[in-house]
Amino acid sequence: MSIKSIFNNIYLKNIVAIIIVIALLIVATFWALNIYTKHGEAVVVPDIKGVTVAEALPLLKSKGLRYEVVDSIFAKNKTPGVICEQVPQANTKVKPNRIIFITINSFSTKQIELPDVRDLSLRQAETILQNAGFATSILLVDSEFKDLVLRVKKGEAIVYPGTKLLDGTRLTLEVGNGGDSAYSDSIRIDSAKEGTTTSTTNDDSWF
């Protein structure tokens, strides 16, 4: 078959055309991807921790970056409203237009619902309250139930389960000391009523 006849073959022409189209599509696809992903372009994420969102915004815009607040916490040792965490971290290389996810320090203290620790052992109650975010102190009171939490107080006021208190609130746990003076007094009073306290008088008969 001569070269001229090959070029005049309609089937071969179609195959060649298809190959050319596919090649052009592949080239165009890679070119578009390079533009879309900004291949070879990168910006360094600035350190925006410790500043407010308003202060961080110009820094992010200058790098072509965006931000999104994803969470808030309350840290007593930090200024309210400042950024506490950022993802990606500072000095990370990212593509332009990347979203920086930030966590800010809340303007108000978090409130915690008081769990019910009454009738629990002192160790259990302290663990539960401290894990919840409360500070605790102990006040021993007369009770036959040693190391059992009888009530919870904030200052002089009794607080009940479900009450919402500020994170870090100091609570006083009234805990039984294992001795019940009130119970002993009642026994003495009852004995007096029954006349059994006259035993000391009856002792005179021995002299």
Q: Please give the backbone phi and psi of residue 182, each rounded to the nearest 5 degrees, phi first.
A: -65, -40
Q: Is the pLDDT assigned to residue 178 strictly greater than 80?
A: yes
**pLDDT at site 9:** 66
- Distance, CA of 150 to CA of 117 (rounded, Å): 9
- Distance, CA of 6 to CA of 181 (rounded, Å): 117
Contact 150, 185 (CB under 8 A): no
Global confidence as pTM: 0.45
**pLDDT at site 194:** 36
The residue among 168 and 83 whose pLDDT is bigger is 83
Residue-wise pLDDT tens digits, 40-88: 578 999 999 999 999 999 999 999 999 999 988 878 788 889 999 999 9
Q: What element of type H or E holds 94?
A: strand 93-94
**pLDDT at site 193:** 32
The residue among 138 and 188 whose pLDDT is bigger is 138
**pLDDT at site 20:** 87
**pLDDT at site 131:** 94
Q: Please give the backbone phi and psi of residue 124, each rounded to the nearest 5 degrees, phi first.
A: -60, -45
Alpha carbon separation from 204 to 31, 193, 200, 201 (Å, rounded): 117, 21, 7, 6
Q: How far is CA 76 from the centre of its chain?
A: 14
Residue-wise pLDDT tens digits, 130-149: 999 899 999 999 999 999 99
